[in-house]
Chain A
Amino acid sequence: MSETASKSINIFICLIGLILLCFGASLALAGPTGEEVMLKLDQRDEGQDQVSRSLQILINRRGQERKRSSIYIKKNYKGQDGFDTKTVIFILSPPQVKGTAFMNWSYLQDDKDDDQWLYLPALRKVRRLSASEKEDSFMGTDFTYDDMGDRKVEEDLHKLLRSETLDGKECYVVESVPKKKGYMYSKKETWVVRDEWIPLRVEYYDRKKRHLKTLTYGGWKELKGVWVVGRMEMANHQTKHRTVLTMSDTEVNAGVDENTFRERTLKKGLRKSYFKKR
């Protein structure tokens, strides 16, 4: 190849590169829409299942704490048989509620309520709970069921506010306003890490548009290509009550058995070996 030819090819490549760069830059400048960010967040790969030791600390305004430790097992069905996820929680301590177990089945179908079961050892009976309200507190914490991820993306109108760095990570800040009136939050702002599509912070505003709660995520780790969270803290600014959830010994794609999510398991508890394995 002649020198001029190769030169002109080089120039051509440079030009193309430049055009692509400009295009890319303009794309990046325009960025995704708020809704796209929230969909990416929602559809992030969470693996097939997840097993963690979870410590729940409730802290009141005087700094007093209530601690509860449990085993947390979740399986993602991704629409298989209509299921979205199945979750079980086995409480290990404090001793008075040891052996208490809670199970939740959630469905992909929009209008289908979750099914929930609770086993209280003192009553020796597994009881089916009536569907919780989305606005109900999740097991007496500062989280509501919606805060735990039950809220559907299409229920809100999303707007990308800006990009900014949080904890050294480039984040999109998305504002979400409910489409229907009367929801417990008038507005929610979410910080989503670009590319990884994991949340770092959510700010909640009450019906009167006053700052209500802040949810902070921390300790993100990538396991087998799946991002898992290590710590979630929800602080209610109005009641000055806080909930800290920490997840440790987390495993993903551990091959959780289908039979774990049965009423029988709630009552019998997990076999000792189940814990030993992890």
Chain B
Amino acid sequence: MIKIINLFLDFPKLTIAALLLLTMFFGFQLKNLRFETDTNANLPQNDPAFIYNDLVEDIFNSKDVFIVSIFEKGPEGIFDPQTLALVERLTERIKEVDGVIEKDVMSLSTIKNIVGTTAGFRVGRFMKTVPETPGEIRELKEALYENDTYIGSILSADGQATSIFAKMEEDRGKWSGVYYDIKKLLSLEPAGGRKFYVAGMPVLEVTFGIYMQQSMEKMFPLVILVIVLMLYGVFRGLRGVLLPLFIVIGADIWAMGIMAMCGVPMYVFSTIMPIILMAIGIADGIHVLEKYYQLVGGGLVTDRRSIVKETFAEMWSPVVMTSLTTAAGFTSLVSNQMLAIRAFGLFTAVGVIAAMIFSLTLLPATLAMLKAKGPKRVKNDSLGKSRALDRGFFGFALTRLGKIMYTQRGKVLAALAVVFAFCLYGLTLLTSEGSWMETLQEESEVRTADRALNSKFDGTVRLNVVFEGVKQYDMQSPEVLKAMAELQKDLARDETVGGSISLADFIQRMNQVMNEGRRKFRVVPDSQELIAQYLFLYSMSGEPGDFDEYVDYDYRLANVIFFLKTDHSRATARVVDRVNGFFSRHKELKGLKINMAGAGFLTLAWVESLVRGQLWSIVSSLVAVFLITSLMFRSWAAGLINGVSIAGAMLINFGLLSLAGQPLEVSAAISSGIIIGIGVDYTIHFIYRYRLAVAQNNDSSQATMTTMITSGRAITFNALVVIAGFMVLFASDFTPSVTMGVHVAIGMFVCFLMAMTFLPAILNTFKPRFIFS
């Protein structure tokens, strides 16, 4: 390997030209890079919950809807001729929007009432024509409140808001078009004192992509600025800033160029890739340059070629090792269920390898052409030689730390053991949490609309409870319908549940109007024949598809729709527990099977499967770290020390998270792969240098000090730059990016601390044979 690197050193111009050509080639590929907005890539592909959800959507035509709400504060609320005319007009226009299923647009002007007549009852629209006289308006209002089926969904209880529900065609590619078309329709309407809101899970999915791209555009220059500043702070020289910067920009171009060549599009989630790659690709450059400057400052070698040669003789091996382990950390994301995360993991790993190639080619080639020159801190040091390294703030601090790690190693390990135990306890309390809604910021349009709707209506997030009978007409059975109604009542006690609708509601309404509209008859009747005949009577004036969303054609399956106020997975989990509890109490429904679906349930399933998947990938990454480092140092003990120190860092990370009362979120779980990948760099560099130092003078005290001020210094700089780089994510409008930034920043700090404390303490205590041979 070193021979190959020397080759780059011997032919620097050729090397640089080749790199430039390759980079231009990959850069040219970027024009083929596609941006994929289809949010399906954010969903697990083969998860049973998602497969079942598709089935439910197909059977009941039950889908998430775009909700357009009109708020009218006036004394009459929405009950004035202009607003009602507006509702009708908007309903008709929304029906014509491409991507909206025309017959599945629901509003005040389409919903039907069941009214008692001499013949029993008949079905008709509440609003056949837009009422104009006060009398007609009063009549409409009374009808809507008397049959309260649609209060809370279409009409708010206080009459100050009304909603239009629009179902989308399957093709998610059309969704953003629908969103903008609807927004345009609304902009054409005179608002007056009215307020319009567009809400619902599809809106969230559509705007999600827009927010993510916007925040990327904002963060990219910011991360470059931060890296430049940090590099200048550390190296105080032009080459110390420019060379690592070229490496990470080059790595970005390569990674994205290769992605384009493979025909993989840029997913919403992978837009953070260039930024993350910048923050971590910098590592190799820092370690190499730090060594180079140490040699320049040491003054033992003066010939610039010899300096570069010696730098790489020592550094190539840890650079390759750490790059491989970092890449392995990202590759572990390939086991993820989300296509977008898989692509992100894979191509970030490609970028890490690209950064490694740059570090091993561009650095030797350019450094060989440049005059050997150290940064100011070295040059101005009159004492020269290696003593310079224990000077200055870092030198002083690292020396002190090294001393403690040698003399007080027992106490350090004991203290760490206490921390571990404490964190282990915290880990047992860890819960998972996730929400699509919270991925956007509080003030974002979608969340503002969602809050407004939740204040007036039942809720924007759906949870479907599907009753599966055994044979045809099972759903006309009084026991089943009564259970449905009871379940609705039971779940309404949970604050998350705003309302619900089912076939039972309609049967109860029919029974009520058949009994002079008396309230006490709003129950499911006891006779199955009667129920079947009510439905027959309904069909005399209703339409064949009226109950499609609530019961399947054979009356074998029924769909009870619950409206939830939030899509937080913990809240949904509580409701799901309640559903399961209800059915375990009702033994008489034994033949019946229960399943769940809907956006609320999917978010829960998504969070649980992602978090579970991520925990597995943490375990597999740790095993990979153990195996790779065992192989590198040709010792199981070395693998164990590396593995334990990273595992300890993860333990502290998640333990503290849990002790702070925070749930484990999806983005936090994903950051763990990143933390492991970068964190193991520190332990490898440290152990590698420590072993070299021991080999030189076989004194563990001396070795600790040397390692601390050389490798320890590079690790400190690296940690500072990476942490600062990830802190850029705090500026994102997209909450998961912020969460990821926080987690990686904290995680890196913990890894850094572990490498600087646990590692020297344990090496000094156990004196493993692979070092002290």
**A residues touching B (Cβ–Cβ < 8 Å)?**
58, 60, 62, 64-66, 94, 96-97, 100, 102, 116, 118, 120-123, 127-130, 132, 136-137, 139-142, 208, 238-239, 241, 243
Known contacts A96-B532, A118-B120; can you find 7 more A-B pairs with CB under 8 A? A60-B544, A94-B532, A123-B533, A129-B122, A130-B122, A136-B540, A241-B545
The residue in A97, A118, A140, A239 that gathers the most chain B C-beta atoms within 10 A of its C-beta is A140
Does the CB pair A130–B118 fall under 8 Å? yes
* CB of B554 within 8 Å of the partner chain: yes
CB < 8 Å neighbour of A128 from B118, B476, B528, B543: B118
Report the nearest A residue to B528, measured CB to CB.
A96
Tell me which residues across on chain B come within 8 A of A140, comparing CB atoms.
536, 538-540, 542-544
Q: A120-B536, A128-B118 are in contact. Are A239 and B545 (CB under 8 A)?
A: yes
* CB of B530 within 8 Å of the partner chain: yes
Report the nearest A residue to B527, measured CB to CB.
A122
Q: A127-B118, A130-B122 are in contact. Are A58 and B544 (CB under 8 A)?
A: yes
CB < 8 Å neighbour of B120 from A64, A127, A239: A127
Does the CB pair A129–B119 fall under 8 Å? yes
CB < 8 Å neighbour of B119 from A58, A66, A118, A139: A118
User: Which residues of B in the span 534-585 have a Cβ within 8 Å of any Cβ on A?
Assistant: 536-545, 548, 552-554
Tell me which residues across on chain B come within 8 A of A97, comparing CB atoms.
529, 532-533, 536
Q: A130-B118, A137-B541, A137-B542 are in contact. Are A100 and B533 (CB under 8 A)?
A: yes
Chain B nearest CB from A212 CB (Å) reads 11
Closest 7 CB pairs of A and B: A140-B539, A96-B532, A64-B553, A122-B530, A127-B119, A129-B119, A120-B533
**B residues touching A (Cβ–Cβ < 8 Å)?**
58-59, 96, 102-103, 117-120, 122, 473, 476, 514, 527-533, 536-545, 548, 552-554
Chain A nearest CB from B108 CB (Å) reads 19
Chain A nearest CB from B523 CB (Å) reads 16
In whole angstroms, what is the CA distance A116 to B118 when docked?
12
Q: List 7 A-B contacts (CB under 8 A).
A: A65-B553, A96-B532, A120-B120, A123-B530, A130-B117, A140-B538, A140-B542
Tell me which residues across on chain B come within 8 A of A65, comparing CB atoms.
553
In whole angstroms, what is the CA distance A268 to B459 when docked?
50
Does the CB pair B537–A118 fall under 8 Å? yes
Tell me which residues across on chain B come within 8 A of A141, comparing CB atoms.
544
Report the nearest A residue to B552, measured CB to CB.
A64
Report the nearest A residue to B554, measured CB to CB.
A64
Chain A nearest CB from B287 CB (Å) reads 62
In whole angstroms, what is the CA distance A170 to B524 when docked?
56
Does the CB pair B102–A238 fall under 8 Å? yes
In whole angstroms, what is the CA distance A100 to B553 when docked?
21
Tell me which residues across on chain A come within 8 A of B545, comparing CB atoms.
239, 241
Tell me which residues across on chain B come within 8 A of A130, comparing CB atoms.
117-119, 122
Chain B nearest CB from A155 CB (Å) reads 20
In whole angstroms, what is the CA distance A60 to B554 when docked?
10
Tell me which residues across on chain A come within 8 A of B542, comparing CB atoms.
137, 140
Tell me which residues across on chain B come within 8 A of A102, comparing CB atoms.
540
Q: A58-B544, A64-B554, A239-B545 are in contact. Are A122 and B533 (CB under 8 A)?
A: yes
Chain B nearest CB from A97 CB (Å) reads 5
In whole angstroms, what is the CA distance A118 to B538 when docked?
12
Tell me which residues across on chain B come within 8 A of A116, comparing CB atoms.
119
Chain B nearest CB from A197 CB (Å) reads 31
Report the nearest B residue to A243, measured CB to CB.
B544
Q: A96-B476, A121-B533, A127-B120 are in contact. Are A62 and B59 (CB under 8 A)?
A: yes
Tell me which residues across on chain A come within 8 A of B548, comparing CB atoms.
60
Chain A nearest CB from B562 CB (Å) reads 24
In whole angstroms, what is the CA distance A122 to B102 when docked?
37
Does the CB pair A100–B122 fall under 8 Å? no
Chain B nearest CB from A141 CB (Å) reads 7
Report the nearest B residue to A98, measured CB to CB.
B529
Tell me which residues across on chain B come within 8 A of A64, comparing CB atoms.
552-554
Does the CB pair A142–B544 fall under 8 Å? yes
The residue in B540, B544, B545, B552 that gathers the most chain A C-beta atoms within 10 A of its C-beta is B544
Tell me which residues across on chain A come within 8 A of B118, comparing CB atoms.
127-128, 130
Q: A60-B553, A62-B59, A64-B554 are in contact. Are A129 and B530 (CB under 8 A)?
A: no
In whole angstroms, what is the CA distance A99 to B543 when docked?
22
In whole angstroms, what is the CA distance A140 to B544 when docked?
5
Does the CB pair B540–A139 fall under 8 Å? yes
In whole angstroms, what is the CA distance A209 to B544 when docked?
22
In whole angstroms, what is the CA distance A142 to B103 when docked?
14
Does the CB pair B119–A128 fall under 8 Å? yes
Tell me which residues across on chain A come within 8 A of B530, comparing CB atoms.
122-123
In whole angstroms, what is the CA distance A46 to B552 when docked?
39
CB < 8 Å neighbour of B553 from A66, A139, A238, A239: A66
Tell me which residues across on chain A come within 8 A of B552, comparing CB atoms.
64
Report the nearest A residue to B556, measured CB to CB.
A64
Chain B nearest CB from A130 CB (Å) reads 5
In whole angstroms, what is the CA distance A123 to B120 when docked?
10
In whole angstroms, what is the CA distance A241 to B533 when docked?
22
In whole angstroms, what is the CA distance A123 to B514 when docked?
10
Chain A nearest CB from B605 CB (Å) reads 25
Chain A nearest CB from B533 CB (Å) reads 4
CB < 8 Å neighbour of B58 from A62, A132, A238, A239: A62
Chain B nearest CB from A75 CB (Å) reads 22
CB < 8 Å neighbour of B539 from A62, A122, A127, A139: A139
In whole angstroms, what is the CA distance A140 to B546 when docked?
10
Tell me which residues across on chain B come within 8 A of A96, comparing CB atoms.
473, 476, 528-529, 531-533
Report the nearest A residue to B529, measured CB to CB.
A122
Does the CB pair B529–A238 fall under 8 Å? no
Report the nearest A residue to B532, measured CB to CB.
A96
Does the CB pair B59–A132 fall under 8 Å? no
Tell me which residues across on chain A come within 8 A of B529, comparing CB atoms.
96-97, 121-122
Q: A64-B554, A130-B118 are in contact. Are A137 and B537 (CB under 8 A)?
A: no
In whole angstroms, what is the CA distance A28 to B3 when docked?
101
In whole angstroms, what is the CA distance A141 to B102 when docked?
20
Tell me which residues across on chain A come within 8 A of B532, comparing CB atoms.
94, 96-97, 122
Report the nearest B residue to A132, measured CB to CB.
B541
Does the CB pair B541–A136 fall under 8 Å? yes
Chain B nearest CB from A211 CB (Å) reads 13
Chain A nearest CB from B327 CB (Å) reads 48
CB < 8 Å neighbour of A137 from B119, B473, B476, B539: B539
In whole angstroms, what is the CA distance A129 to B59 when docked?
33
